[in-house]
Amino acid sequence: MSSRTASLRSLSRATATTTATSPGIRLFSATARRAAPSAHRALVFREHGALNDALSAHTFRALSPPGPGRVNVRVRLAPVNPSDVNVVEGVYPNKPSPETLLPPDSGGTQDFSVAGGEPVQSVDGGEGTGEVYVPGNEGVAEVTAVGEGVSGLEVGDWVVFAKTQPGTWASARQVGARDVIRVDKDAGEVTAAMLSVNPPTALCLLREFVPLKEGDWIVQNGANSAVGQLVIQIAAQRGIRTLNFVRSREEQANNALVKHLGALGATHTFTYDALADRTLTAHIKQLTHTAPPRLLLNCVSGPQTTGLLRLLGQDAQLVSYGAMSKQPLALPAGAQIFRGLVARGFWMSAWYAAHARKEREALLEEVVRLKLEEPRHTVFTVQAGWSDEEAGRRVREALGVQGRSPGGEKVLLRVEDPVV
């Protein structure tokens, strides 16, 4: 947990020296924090498939100096979100742009053009040439070079990515300066790496659909997910009471989870299995009779979510932001006709696309001020000394099918530049 105040506009400056290699381009000097890398590495997929089957690691040529309006960054940490898993599987609406492979020792000029004309870097497949995709929709990176005409960014600054699907599962990227937002280093790597997706999602879910006030109740499933834990914390800060539902586990593990969510501010936590007992429904109705819940947050779908509808009051909203069960969501016509139930969807990428940069920055600033506790996590480092073959194998083993650790913690990736 990072309890230190972090402002997007209160910035710390790097002390590394810089040198001009050409007009308007500022780079790390050879005597700065580290020598310029001779190559970088990315986790990629060529074809859609299961995470532990489709991913591989590939080394690519060191980034060229950034052109006008662009910056080079070293990715410090990038999370594995459920949407990233869905991207690799091919079931997510957004996906990275295809990138052309260029090995470190290839001649000629680095080609930064891809379909659609959006400049990106190229990666080396190690197995010939062709197009690959680099997953990763968020992360924190450090600026290593600044192109001509870029203002407000300096070498050493930390940034998060403002563009959809920037491909953060890599050691380095070249991006447009407009596609990153500077953040204070006091936020810490883990908080900054997960700043732009889950916390804003939780905040928007609580404020954009039902006007909530202190003392109100909400219901959510997937309460132990990253977003679910953040919803609990934000709601608790505002005096909003939460009914949280999780899947059944072994008794000791279930008790530990209930205790953990309670420490975050959960009012009550139940299992889906317990909901099958009608006495629980009656108990919840009694708890909430003065302010029946009018908001149900859904990231699971399937029949278990349908069962939660009976806990809602009149004119409630069901807001879906995920479907981790990969099952359809059935809505009883009676709930819609007689109780005024409204079903909505929320997608953070669509929110970003519909709002100006200043609004996006303001949202992230608000998130930072909340000082939310980081979800349980583990960092997996793709080590510099590993070959691409070993790196790919270890990543596939570590992420499995769902992209989570064996203990269920969120995984964050640190991809080091390879030794070549």
- Our answer to whether residue 133 is catalytic in this structure is no
Q: CA-CA distance, 280 to 263, in Å (whole number)?
A: 23
Angle (CA) 319-320-321 rounded to 5° is 120
Asked if residue 147 lies in contact with residue 25, where contact means CB atoms within 8 angstroms, the answer is: yes
Identify the burial level of 104 via C-beta atoms within 10 angstroms of its C-beta, where 0-12 means exposed, 13-18 middle and 19 or more buried.
middle
Give the closest residue to 126 by CA, choosing from 75, 35, 57, 30: 57
Give the closest residue to 275 by CA, choosing from 302, 241, 314, 253: 302
Asked if residue 133 lies in contact with residue 99, where contact means CB atoms within 8 angstroms, the answer is: yes
Residue 27 φ then ψ, to 5°: -130, 160
Asked if residue 380 lies in contact with residue 386, where contact means CB atoms within 8 angstroms, the answer is: no
Strand, helix or coil for residue 44: strand
DSSP 296-328: EEESSBSHHHHHHGGG--TT-EEEE---TT-B-
Asked if residue 100 lies in contact with residue 39, where contact means CB atoms within 8 angstroms, the answer is: no
Place of tokens 């064996």: 406
Catalytic choice (92, 133, 272, 321): 92
Q: In the Cβ-directed half-sphere of 317, how many Cα atoms lie within 13 Å?
A: 15
Strand, helix or coil for residue 275: helix
Rg (CA), the chain: 23
Query: For the chain, how far is it from start to end, CA to CA, in angstroms?
Result: 36
Asked if residue 200 lies in contact with residue 226, where contact means CB atoms within 8 angstroms, the answer is: no
Q: CA-CA distance, 136 to 347, in Å (whole number)?
A: 16
Bridge-based pairing of strands 140-146 and 158-161 is antiparallel
DSSP assignment, residue 370? H
Q: CA-CA distance, 21 to 247, in Å (whole number)?
A: 57
Asked if residue 169 lies in contact with residue 136, where contact means CB atoms within 8 angstroms, the answer is: yes
Looking at the annotation, which residues are catalytic? Answer: 92
